Amino acid sequence: MHSESSESYAAKIRKIEQTKGANHSSLLLLFYNLGLLLRQEDKPSEAARALTQAKKLADQHFGVDSLECTKCLGALASCLKDEGRPNEAIQLLRRSLEILQRRLGSFHLDLCPVLDRLVEEYTDERDFGAAYTLCERSAGIAEVMFGSSHAETTIRLERLARLLERQGRHDEATPLRLYAARSLEDSQSNTDYMPALASSLDATRLNRQSKPCEQGYGVHAGWRDTMWPESWTKLLRQNLAWILAIAGGVLVGEYFGWIGAVLVSPA
Using the CB atoms, write b or e for 53-75: b if 16+ within 10 Å. bbbbbbeeeeeeeeebbbbbbbb
> Using an 8 Å Cβ cutoff, are 39 and 47 in contact?
yes
Per-residue pLDDT tens listing for the chain (267 residues)? 456 788 888 999 999 999 999 999 999 999 999 999 999 999 999 999 999 999 999 999 999 999 999 999 999 999 999 999 999 999 999 999 999 999 999 889 999 999 999 999 999 999 999 999 999 999 999 988 888 778 888 889 889 989 988 888 888 888 888 887 777 666 555 544 444 433 333 333 333 333 333 333 344 444 444 433 444 444 444 555 555 555 555 555 555 554 455 444 554
Q: What pLDDT does 149 receive?
A: 77
Judge whether 1-104 and 106-228 match in fold. Answer: yes
Domain ranges, ordered by start, for the chain: 1-104, 106-228, 233-267
**Superfamily grouping for domain 106-228:** Tetratricopeptide repeat domain (1.25.40.10)
Nearest CA-CA partner of 163 in 138, 133, 141, 184: 133
**Architecture of 1-104 per CATH?**
Alpha Horseshoe (1.25)
Average pLDDT in the chain? 77
Q: Are 68 and 74 in contact (CB under 8 A)?
A: no
List, as one string, the DSSP characters of 181-238. HHHHHHGGGT---HHHHHHHHHHH---------TTS--S-THHHHHHS-HHHHHHHHH
pLDDT tens per residue, range 145-189: 888 778 888 889 889 989 988 888 888 888 888 887 777 666 555
Query: Residue 170, SS3?
Result: helix
| pTM reported for the whole predicted model | 0.66
